[in-house]
Chain A
Amino acid sequence: MTILECKNLTKEYYSGENVIKAVDNANLTFEQGEFTAITGPSGSGKSTLLHVLSSLENPTSGEVIYNGESLKKYNDNQLSILRRRRFGFVFQAYNLVQELTGMENILLPVMLDKKTPDEAYLEKLVEELGIGDRIGHLPSAMSGGQQQRIAIARALANKPAILFADEPTGNLDGRSGREVLALLKYVSAEFGVTLILVTHDLGVAEQADRVLTLSDGRVVRDTKGAAQ
């Protein structure tokens, strides 16, 4: 079942008088529960594609369709609600709120949605991610790997439909990176979440169900079943 698709998606940037097409006429569909890796050389537009797909940025033209509804119809407030309820984000630089403890960061989307936290679910999440002893600390008192684990827990806290991850292992050492990736794969499978992950690491991409390769903003290859 298609959960997310994009039609004729283009994102342009202006650099002086030059127009740079970061994403050039992309037409893609993403199935529920699928793990997709987006890869390509630096500047190929993979992060931009992720940002436009996840509504963090508006496309210059084309549209993104979530669950059969075009996001064009959504205003800023509706997009915020969509992000907090249905999307989860993991960034390369973790992006935790510095004033909040690990646990408070995890609870952030739930609290923004004014919902009562599902404590059993959250406990399981914390346990699976192995961050039980760090959740009372501020991000500045955690290692990169710990921060990224908190970020993954935050992304999954509201049981999202899609988890967007932008180079989630980029700032981590090899071992931590591998652990984080394994966790991402495990929790997305465990909780039935669609995972769309940007990486320039072919080793990471190999583990995905599907690999999209970008070059100069265009999808030059769409390989399914790579992990198999």
Chain B
Amino acid sequence: MKRLTVNTFALQSLKKRKKQYAALIAGIILAMVFSSGTLFLLSSLFAGIDDLTDQAFGKETAVFYGLTEETLADGQARFHIEYAAKGEILGYLMTEEEDRGVSVAKLTPEARELTYTVVTDGDYPQNAGEIAIEEDALIRMGLNARPGDMIELTLQVQDDADYLSKTVQKSYLLTGILKDRRVNVENMRASKSPFPAAFVSETETIEPGGKALSVVYTVFSRGNSPIASSYQFYDDFCKEHGLNDQKTESVFITRDSFSLSGIGKLRQSGVLAAVLAAVFTVVSCVGIVNAFSSDLLDRKKQIGMLRALGATKSQIMRIFGREALLIALCSAPFSLLLSYFGTRLAVRLIGNGMRFLPDYGVLFGGVGVSLLCVMAASFIPLAKTARISPMQAVRDVDKTRVLRRKKLHSQKQFSVPKLIAKREAAFSPASQILVCVILAVSVSLSALGISYIAEAYDEASPYDSDYRIYRMGWEADPFVNLDVSSRGFGLTDNDLQTLTLFPYTDGIRKEQDAQAVWITEAPSDYLTMLDAGRVSFELNGDTPTFTGETWRQLLTENDGNKKDFLSAFSYKDVFSVRFSARDEDAVRQLEPFVSEGKIDLAKLNAGEEILLAAPDSVSLEARLETFPDGMRYVDFIADTGVYSLMDRERFEMFPLGTAERSCHAGDKVRVALICNDLHDSEGTPVDKRYTDCRVYEKEVTIGAILSIPPGGIWSRGDMTGITQLNFISTHAGKRAFGIENRYFQLDLKLNTPCTDEIDEQITRLISPMISGTSFNCDSQYRDAQEDRQMLAAIFTGLMSVVLLFFTVAGSMICTSLTADIRANRRGLGTLRAVGASVRELTKTYLYRLLLPFGVGVPAGAALAAAVWLAIYKFAGEKIPPLLWPTALLTLALFGVCCLNLYVRLRQLTKTSIVENIREL
């Protein structure tokens, strides 16, 4: 005779209850996939995003040129620099046709690894005479070459500090095309550094007479705190060693905005992963506990019988615990496979070059933890069930206890379905509350998350145009940068013509700017304070201390540029103003920001009126910064409430006062546009400061005052106002001043949806216009692709969490109702026997279904509204709510629960009343 052991009992039980266990195993697989699988998915997505960021920017945090061994050694010894790898810049490569080129370097294997150079086509050079070039650099140099082609280039040889005057003609075998890095780094942080974009093998030597410029790629420390920015260490290192001056350039790579955001910091620190893991585990455990509880409720009588036959508590625990282990072990391989292939599919769907970088530790570790969770979760209902006495199991005394505690009273008139549903809810308040809480969290998480991501999708296309070409950086001091006609200052009419003739161009919106001053005889505090931000000075022997009392005098004394300007033009006082000229339709779009007066295009075009964008008030502060070498600088901060300007901790601050806007619509103002468009015989601008400046002066009326909203962004990035005053007019209005200059911003709109091919064509068209300048080109197509990728990853993560919550809520509702129907067959049979129709039975369960939805969904909506209001109140962020996906999810969940109910009740009513009544 076969011996009956705990294992054989558990196996027999599993075999006999295949159907019930199939549902339980499916639930557990889902819970495991959602907990371990979601973590695996998130870890893979984050790894993929990190990989993309590394490909775009490299793994380094800063790049130094000409850094001495001693300085590097000091940085490493003091743990500022965690890791460094070296390369050498051999020169500057150009073609004969184009004077724009890129630096060429050779890297050590360590530097190649750190810079994460990715070869998209061909191979990295191995021998002398071979070269690999970044894709954008090829376009920049006007080269249409593929790997295997010989290319002829002109090399300006490096001589450490600069380039040798002679050039060398070089012939290289192009072995590979590299993924862009230079353009990404420079777009992010405009720099005149020789960031290399062409690479030769290590065996390459520098041309005779030259001296290679060292390039050191470094990873800066984050200190003891994993979330601290490495910028602090970089900044300290640079200041201590006097870097960033004329002799040594450096580039600090911020990598990407995501990594600097709150989420990014949390992710870096592992807090996000830990929190997500904890949430997934807890929620999954709740689902598993519920699944096991329902199963054990169903088997309460069997346990009671076993106890009556003499089984001890520990034997009951062992029998059912072994079943739980077998179930968990059966579920593990399925959840492993589902997690792996699900994640693989998700990464493929996100696409855009994201690689599937699985972390098997997370996958197997997650499944291992899930197994433990299943065991732990099964233990809770098991321990509870094993505690009950045999008679308690047979006679349902729990209900009597609850009844006594709740002091329920007999109803004289009642709806049978409603009363039974209400009573059931009263008998199991904890599980009802739990379901309501999970449902509420699901609803609020879904409503908020989807609304925020939808808004982010909208914001992923910040401009009205498909391409925006714009000058990066703005010289706030109009008394310094007067060279408005230089190539660096703007794009020409020829550039505009080239773009207009592009077959896919639908229209181009253009914007010009000019350095301008507001001439006044009676300077107001408002103008003085707004203009003070240009000035900084060192505290020295003449001015040993700063208390703030003499700020007006110090401001005047130390604004050397303005003093020179005033003496050159005999004005009593002037204040810097930004002047921009726009297309008429762009000016019309400013209508919503008018706070005084009105926009009259005819008067603007005639040069009679002008628009003034000005903050309502300004508060001025002086800040004193003391450097490690003892030098102390004072500068002025004009705060207009538009931006929170800085981290104040490092400075000593002196509040100097506040002034309200002193100008109004209808005021007449004298405005002068100033420029120096003189060039020498070779076309190089001649900087003669003010002596040869042309001044285009005009008296105009302020037609309208435009307010600057918090954040300073007007109409999707069409205008940014920070602390400066902004005069705005039309192009015709600007011409009325008599000045013609270049475009600082062109917005190009395509007449067809953009494709990879069009994007490549337009990149080739625009690249030569902006190469070697501080201009940048934003492709909405590329930006949207990148943003979509990031948002898809975030959305996938969010939806995993939301679905986990919805699934757990649904599983709790369905399993508890299913278990109740199974366990209560006799009660339902009795109801049918005494005259309850199937419709009434269905209504009973529908009421029970409506209870968690009726409480959980409004509670979730209220929670979401509260969080939304809190975010609006404290962060000022007003996100348009997008609720239909959540409503759809909730309806879908309700539908699934109804379907489950229908199937279970149909099963029940298919059997005869007598069979139900006799079920014991």
| B413 close to A97 (CB less than 8 A) | no
Q: Which of B397, B420, B838, B913 contacts A97 (CB 8 A)?
A: B420
**Among listed B505-513, B772-780, B825-833, interface-contacting one:** B825-833
| B413 close to A84 (CB less than 8 A) | no
| B917 close to A80 (CB less than 8 A) | no
Q: At the interface, yes or no: B522 with Cβ under 8 Å from chain A? A: no
| B913 close to A56 (CB less than 8 A) | yes
Q: At the interface, yes or no: A98 with Cβ under 8 Å from chain B? A: yes
A96: chain B residues within 8 A (beta carbon): 830
Smallest Cβ-Cβ distance to B404: which chain A residue: A141
In Å, the complex CA distance between A81 and B839 comes to: 12
Q: Which of A51, A80, A82, A102 contacts B836 (CB 8 A)?
A: A80
| A84 close to B834 (CB less than 8 A) | yes
Q: At the interface, yes or no: A219 with Cβ under 8 Å from chain B? A: no
Q: At the interface, yes or no: A58 with Cβ under 8 Å from chain B? A: yes
**Among listed A108-116, A190-198, A209-217, interface-contacting one:** A108-116
Of A76, A82, A84, A100, most B-chain CB atoms within 10 Å: A100
In Å, the complex CA distance between A58 and B914 comes to: 10
A158: chain B residues within 8 A (beta carbon): 835
| B836 close to A140 (CB less than 8 A) | no
| A104 close to B399 (CB less than 8 A) | no
Q: At the interface, yes or no: A57 with Cβ under 8 Å from chain B? A: yes
| B399 close to A112 (CB less than 8 A) | no
| B839 close to A85 (CB less than 8 A) | no
B395: chain A residues within 8 A (beta carbon): 140
Contact mask A141-162 → B, CB, 8 Å, 1/0? 1000000000000110010000
A58: chain B residues within 8 A (beta carbon): 912
| B913 close to A57 (CB less than 8 A) | yes
Q: Which of A91, A98, A108, A111 contacts B917 (CB 8 A)?
A: A91
A89: chain B residues within 8 A (beta carbon): 833-834
Q: At the interface, yes or no: B837 with Cβ under 8 Å from chain A? A: yes
In Å, the complex CA distance between A191 and B838 comes to: 30
Q: Which of A100, A101, A107, A112 contacts B840 (CB 8 A)?
A: A112
Q: At the interface, yes or no: B423 with Cβ under 8 Å from chain A? A: yes
Q: At the interface, yes or no: B416 with Cβ under 8 Å from chain A? A: yes
* B503 smallest CB distance to A (angstroms): 72
In the complex, chain A residues 48-95 whose Cβ is within 8 Å of any chain B Cβ: 51, 56-58, 76-77, 80-85, 87, 89, 91, 93, 95
In Å, the complex CA distance between A103 and B412 comes to: 8
Q: At the interface, yes or no: A187 with Cβ under 8 Å from chain B? A: no
Q: At the interface, yes or no: A117 with Cβ under 8 Å from chain B? A: yes
| B826 close to A83 (CB less than 8 A) | no
Smallest Cβ-Cβ distance to B395: which chain A residue: A140
In Å, the complex CA distance between A111 and B410 comes to: 13
| A108 close to B416 (CB less than 8 A) | yes
Knowing A80-B837, A112-B836, the reply to whether A138 touches B400 (Cβ < 8 A) is yes
Knowing A109-B834, A140-B400, the reply to whether A99 touches B423 (Cβ < 8 A) is yes
Q: At the interface, yes or no: A135 with Cβ under 8 Å from chain B? A: yes
Q: At the interface, yes or no: A130 with Cβ under 8 Å from chain B? A: no
Smallest Cβ-Cβ distance to B408: which chain A residue: A101
Q: Which of A137, A141, A154 contacts B834 (CB 8 A)?
A: A154
The interface size of chain A toward B, counting residues with CB under 8 Å, comes to: 43
B920: chain A residues within 8 A (beta carbon): 93
| A98 close to B396 (CB less than 8 A) | yes
| B410 close to A109 (CB less than 8 A) | no
Smallest Cβ-Cβ distance to B833: which chain A residue: A89
Smallest Cβ-Cβ distance to B920: which chain A residue: A93
| A98 close to B827 (CB less than 8 A) | yes
Smallest Cβ-Cβ distance to B422: which chain A residue: A99
Q: At the interface, yes or no: A136 with Cβ under 8 Å from chain B? A: yes
In Å, the complex CA distance between A131 and B906 comes to: 37
| B403 close to A138 (CB less than 8 A) | yes
| B423 close to A100 (CB less than 8 A) | yes
In Å, the complex CA distance between A136 and B914 comes to: 28
In Å, the complex CA distance between A138 and B414 comes to: 17
In Å, the complex CA distance between A51 and B915 comes to: 11
* A194 smallest CB distance to B (angstroms): 17
Smallest Cβ-Cβ distance to A142: which chain B residue: B400
Q: At the interface, yes or no: B424 with Cβ under 8 Å from chain A? A: yes
Q: At the interface, yes or no: B419 with Cβ under 8 Å from chain A? A: yes
Q: At the interface, yes or no: B415 with Cβ under 8 Å from chain A? A: yes
In Å, the complex CA distance between A96 and B920 comes to: 14
Q: At the interface, yes or no: B411 with Cβ under 8 Å from chain A? A: yes
A97: chain B residues within 8 A (beta carbon): 420, 827, 830-831
A51: chain B residues within 8 A (beta carbon): 913-914
B414: chain A residues within 8 A (beta carbon): 104, 107, 111
| B413 close to A117 (CB less than 8 A) | yes
Knowing A76-B838, A95-B826, A112-B840, the reply to whether A104 touches B833 (Cβ < 8 A) is no
Q: Which of B396, B403, B416, B826 contacts A112 (CB 8 A)?
A: B416
| B914 close to A57 (CB less than 8 A) | yes
A85: chain B residues within 8 A (beta carbon): 835
B410: chain A residues within 8 A (beta carbon): 101-104, 135-136
In the complex, chain B residues 829-864 whose Cβ is within 8 Å of any chain A Cβ: 829-840
Knowing A99-B420, A111-B415, the reply to whether A57 touches B836 (Cβ < 8 A) is no
* A106 smallest CB distance to B (angstroms): 9
* B419 smallest CB distance to A (angstroms): 7
Smallest Cβ-Cβ distance to B424: which chain A residue: A99
Smallest Cβ-Cβ distance to B831: which chain A residue: A97
| B427 close to A99 (CB less than 8 A) | yes
In Å, the complex CA distance between A82 and B826 comes to: 20
| A138 close to B833 (CB less than 8 A) | no
Smallest Cβ-Cβ distance to A78: which chain B residue: B837
In Å, the complex CA distance between A87 and B912 comes to: 17
A136: chain B residues within 8 A (beta carbon): 409-410
| B912 close to A56 (CB less than 8 A) | yes
* B423 smallest CB distance to A (angstroms): 4
B419: chain A residues within 8 A (beta carbon): 99-100, 104
Write 11 A-B pairs (CB below 8 A) sorted by A numbering: A57-B912, A58-B912, A80-B832, A97-B830, A104-B419, A111-B416, A113-B835, A116-B413, A136-B409, A140-B397, A140-B400
- Chain A residues at the B interface, C-beta cutoff of 8 Å: 51, 56-58, 76-77, 80-85, 87, 89, 91, 93, 95-104, 107-109, 111-113, 116-117, 135-138, 140-141, 154-155, 158
8 more CB-based (< 8 A) A-B contacts, given A56-B912, A56-B914: A57-B914, A77-B839, A93-B920, A103-B412, A111-B414, A135-B410, A140-B399, A141-B403
Interchain residue pairs A-B with the least CB separation, the first 10: A84-B835, A80-B837, A103-B410, A99-B423, A95-B830, A83-B835, A101-B410, A141-B400, A56-B913, A140-B400
